[in-house]
Structure 1
């Protein structure tokens, strides 16, 4: 009986998650302590440093052009700071949809960086908006690591890759 109740609850919680919009998911998981930047505006930034706050398996599947891998689980603030020119330099942090990137951007903000943005919708929204992503050889690819199947629903374009 307990198993049936568990599966019923799991089923209904999945439905509510499936019906949430990206804006609702971000509002639910983020504090909005870091300003968002749209993919359109981010694509026009020429002097911004782009930081990828996903895990290495995600980054090596594909990433934004010239993005620097900083990771999430093993993020190292000291190593990241060495990659940045100044505390006023524009920095765009992204992940899959924009949840992990806010955490990493908050650490940079606490370290005194003042011009930090969280890419709204992350690499998924980037690809959904027809901007290119690149593999480790620097070649354009349609493959996007979607972290897991639950989050993959936010990727509407491209090839979904899972570990």
Structure 2
């Protein structure tokens, strides 16, 4: 390599670093703006949990519960064909809930299923641990499912907010339906 090229390479790298820093300073890819969005999502989740009266569980905690053989029911609230069938948390059962807040039961929003169908799925043991999830943190299907489980009298209701995206992001196995 010629001497000019050896001098130009570090100068080019220095230029690239300087322009990347300038881009950050001028708002391109601003980490501070990204933090505002993270904050908004976090506060929205906290407020939903407070309003719903249920608890939350992380991916690591849910996996640990599974590994320990904890008696629990895991409910996937995503559409059957578009999501659950393609990949769900192992052992999960499916029950569709809508995305907007479901303040009253509407069978059109739950794939024609009734409140009694949901109670039958959850079972008679009101002390059993119930874990409800959807796709990702911003998805509110799991909020609706957790709220209705609480309304039906279940005491140990958890929302798994990371959902199937966090499960896959942790490189954990999924089940599919053929």
Question: 2:119 matched to 1:102?
Answer: no
Contact in 2 for aligned 1:70/1:76 (Cα 8 Å): no
| SS at structure 1 position matched to 2:85 | helix
The counterpart of 2:132, out of the listed 93, 102, 126, is 93
Q: Which residue is 1:148 aligned to?
A: none
Question: 2:67 matched to 1:51?
Answer: no
Task: Give the TM-score normalised by the residue count of structure 1.
Answer: 0.66
Is the alpha carbon distance of 1:111 and 1:121 closer, same or farther for their aligned partners in structure 2, counting shifts above 3 Å?
A: same
Structure 1 position 48, deviation (Å): 0.9
Contact in 1 for aligned 2:134/2:161 (Cα 8 Å): no
Displacement over 4 Å in runs of 4+: 16-19
Structure 1 position 120, deviation (Å): 2.6
Please tell me the root mean square deviation across aligned C-alpha atoms, in Å.
2.2
Contact in 1 for aligned 2:142/2:161 (Cα 8 Å): no
Is the alpha carbon distance of 1:26 and 1:55 closer, same or farther for their aligned partners in structure 2, counting shifts above 3 Å?
A: farther
Is the alpha carbon distance of 1:103 and 1:136 closer, same or farther for their aligned partners in structure 2, counting shifts above 3 Å?
A: same
User: What number of residue pairs does the alignment pair up?
Assistant: 121
More helix by share: 2
Gapped runs of 5+ residues in structure 2? 1-32, 98-108
Structure 1 position 65, deviation (Å): 1.0
Name which one, 1 or 2, has greater alpha-carbon Rg. Answer: 2
Q: Which residue is 1:67 aligned to?
A: 92
Task: Give the TM-score normalised by the residue count of structure 2.
Answer: 0.60
Question: 2:59 matched to 1:39?
Answer: yes
